Amino acid sequence: MTEEKKLTKEELLEKAKKPNELALKYHPYYEGKVQVMPKCVIRDYHDFSIWYTPGVAAPCREIHKNPELSFHYTNRWNYVAVVSDGTRVLGLGDIGPEAALPVMEGKALLFKYLGGVDAFPIVLGTKNLGEIVQAVKWMEPSFGGINLEDFSSPKCFFLLERLREVMDIPVWHDDQQGTATVIYAGLINALKVVGKNKEDAKIVLFGTGAANTRAAIILMKAGFPAKNLVLIDSKGILHPSRKDLEAKKDENPWKWDLAVKTNGEGLTGSAEVAFKGADAVIAASKPGPDTIKTDWVRQMADDAILFATANPIPEIFPWDAKEAGARVIATGRSDFPNQINNSLGFPAIFRGVLDVRAKTVTDEMCIAAGNALAEFAERQGIHENYIIPTMDQWEVYIEEAVAAAEQSIKQGVARLKPTRDELYERAKKMILNARQSTETLMKARLIPPPPE
């Protein structure tokens, strides 16, 4: 019996409150989480004539002749905009752009510390799809990439698709691609642990929001047969005879497409029907602990895999899932084994695509990054309680960045084509620089310790 098993739902909720209490104390103390710092020498005030007027006119003239040189003469190559309209923030819902800003700042902090990426939080005062597309498009000359964050579904799908079409820099929606990348990495290693293969495994995706919709797409592109995938929404199993889905196929064509392509057995009905004989269940739905029933887990196949990723309480407690027969269990929490965490994906993937100045970020790049994640963990020795790296294994971000960059080159969307060794050394340098800079500022108390 693990120590976690002693915790009740109420105790877990109480434990989850601690970061909230500290956040309300620390955020105003530091007045935010990120800042802009110089990266060039300032030996004396005469240097400003180089970095600003009159010297700056020279690179301006060069960029005017060739706008691509903005990646060479400025830090644009390492700038990412973290953009949100605040319509689906964490588990808080539509709380507006101002209330979303702390989340976007936090994302920018993770970008910098984990990936060496200079990210800027940008919240928009509109919910209109067309206006958001235009606003983000207008920002393109300043950035090397765009991270979309906390947009409501299905708007997030349309937004990603349209921006991919009209922009010449990588556009990424972390709630879709980031989550899907980490799910994919964890799943392929979990299957190895239980001795099953992706060609035969029955995979149930419980919840059809941004995360599981893109996860299904990624899994199919990675070689999981569509017929072996079964998706479940709040009304039951997705299938082409669902009139409610057909009626809304223009509103959410991705969901309708999955209803048509997946579920080769033609299953209908409730979640309980889908769970029967499932080799793996990927849950990205509402917090539990009773969202997934133990009786459903008992009906899964032998050596079952269960990802219960809702926060702050997973759809089912890990110990309940274990007692019901699941062998490999993952959650979204850091205090349980096998955390499915987006932060394992986006900092490194952007590090890689920025280093080759990619024009887009594709699902194939997500798969390449997921493979790198999985392979790193496998080299450490995967087992039931370790199927995916943890955030403190910082070397994995280098390998993941290289994988994403190489896939960019392979797909012909990279402006630069460094060697693998060059990519590795550059990613390592950028990531270490961010970590060491933070440590230096903390040691010098330029970043003071938090209040007691």
Same domain, residue pair 284 and 347? yes
- Give the pLDDT mean for 87-115: 95
Percent share of the chain, pLDDT over 70: 98
Same domain, 60 and 108: yes
**301 plus 403 within the same structural domain:** yes
Q: What is the CATH number of the domain that holds 78?
A: 3.40.50.10380
Tell me the H-state helices in 201-345.
210-221, 243-247, 253-261, 271-275, 294-298, 318-323
pLDDT tens, residue by residue, 352-362: 999 999 999 99
Helix (H) or strand (E) holding 61: helix 57-65
User: Residue 122: its pLDDT value, please?
Assistant: 98
- Which of residues 116, 148, 169 is at a domain's end? 169
Decide the pairing of beta strands 229-233 and 236-237.
antiparallel
pLDDT at 19: 85
- Kindly tell me if the per-residue pLDDT of 177 is higher than 50: yes
- Angle between the N-to-C axes of helices 363-380 and 210-221, in degrees from 0 to 180, rounded to the nearest 10: 80
pLDDT tens track for 225-266: 999 999 999 999 999 999 999 999 999 999 999 999 999 999
Give a yes or no: residue 427 inside a domain.
no
Nearest to 216 by CA among 175, 187, 250, 258: 258
408 domain residue, yes or no: yes
Tell me: cis bond preceding 347? Omega within 30 of 0 counts.
Answer: no
- Answer yes or no: do 260 and 209 share one domain: yes
Is 207:285 a contact under the CB 8 Å cutoff? yes
Q: How many residues does the chain have?
A: 452
- Model confidence band, residue 6 (pLDDT cutoffs 50, 70, 90): low
Beta carbons of 233 and 252 less than 8 angstroms apart: no
* Contact present, 239 and 281 (Cβ < 8 Å): no
User: Phi/psi at 218 (nearest 5 deg)?
Assistant: -65, -45
Q: Nearest CA to 264 among 308, 197, 201, 186? A: 201
Number of structural domains in the chain: 2
Is 98 domain-assigned? yes
- Give the residue carrying structure tokens 């579904």: 153
Bridge partner list, 118: 79
Are residues 165 and 181 located together in one domain of the fold?
Answer: no
Identify whether 210 is part of a domain: yes
Residue 1's pLDDT band, with cuts at 50, 70 and 90, is very low
* Mean pLDDT of all residues in 307-324: 93
Residue 313 has pLDDT above 90, yes or no: no
In a domain, 2, yes or no: no
Does the pLDDT at position 3 exceed 60? no
Instruction: Please tell me the distance from the alpha carbon of residue 117 to that of residue 113, in angstroms, as a whole number.
Output: 8
Indicate the average pLDDT of the chain.
95
Query: The domain containing residue 264 runs over which residues?
Result: 177-420
pLDDT band at 18 (very low <50, low <70, confident <90, very high): confident
Domain boundary among 169, 200, 230: 169
Q: Model confidence over 407-427: pLDDT tens digits? A: 999 999 999 999 999 999 999
Assess whether 329 and 233 both reside in one domain: yes
Local structure of 334: helix, strand or coil: coil
What pLDDT score does 373 carry? Answer: 98
- Does residue 266 share a domain with residue 189? yes
> Burial of 435 by CB count in 10 Å (0-12 exposed, 13-18 middle, 19+ buried)?
middle
pLDDT confidence tier of residue 172, bands split at 50, 70 and 90: very high
Contact partners, residue 153, CB within 8 Å, separation at least 6: 88, 209, 210, 213, 252
If one counts every other C-beta atom within 10 angstroms of the C-beta of residue 277, the result is 13
Q: β-strand 145-148 against 79-84: which pairing, if any?
A: parallel
The residues annotated as belonging to the active site are 52, 107
**Mean pLDDT along residues 59-81:** 97
CATH code assigned at 268: 3.40.50.720
Residues 237 and 156 in one domain: no
CA dist 271 and 172 (Å) reads 31
Residue 133: per-residue pLDDT = 98
Quick one: average pLDDT of 275-303?
Answer: 96
User: Does residue 9 lie in a domain region?
Assistant: no
In a domain, 13, yes or no: no
Asked if pLDDT for residue 335 goes beyond 90, the answer is no
In terms of domains, do 378 and 262 share one?
A: yes
How confident is the model at residue 325, as a pLDDT? 96
Q: Is residue 78's pLDDT more than 50?
A: yes
pLDDT at 371 over 70: yes
Query: What mean pLDDT comes out for the span 288-303?
Result: 96
Same domain, 37 and 128: yes
146, 166 Cβ separation under 8 angstroms: no
pLDDT value, residue 2: 44
pLDDT reported for residue 387: 98
Mean pLDDT calculated for residue range 35-43: 95
Residues 226 and 117 grouped into a single domain: no
Pair 192, 300 in one domain: yes
Whether the per-residue pLDDT at 82 is higher than 50: the answer is: yes
DSSP 350-369: HHHHHHTTBS---HHHHHHH
Average pLDDT of the segment spanning 327-340: 94
Q: Tell me the mean pLDDT in the region 19-46.
A: 94
Per-residue model confidence (pLDDT) at position 5: 54
Question: Which one-letter DSSP state was computed for residue 316?
Answer: S
pLDDT value of residue 236: 96
Sort strands 145-148 and 171-173 into parallel, antiparallel or unpaired. Answer: parallel
Chosen domain end from 118, 147, 169: 169
Please give the Cα distance from 208 to 76 (Å, whole number). Answer: 36
DSSP H stretches of helix in 116-241: 129-139, 155-166, 179-194, 210-221
E strands in 284-414: 304-308, 326-331
Taking 70 as the threshold, does the pLDDT of residue 4 lie above it? no
For 60-114, give the DSSP string. HHHHHH-GGGHHHHSGGGGEEEEEE-SSSBTTTBS--HHHHHHHHHHHHHHHHHH
Task: Determine the Cα–Cα distance for residues 276 and 284; give it in Å rounded to an integer.
Answer: 19
410 lies in a domain? Answer: yes
> 293: how many CB neighbours lie within 10 A of its CB?
17
Q: What is the DSSP string of 10-23?
A: HHHHHHHHHHHHHH
Give the whole-angstrom CA distance, residue 41 versus residue 52.
13
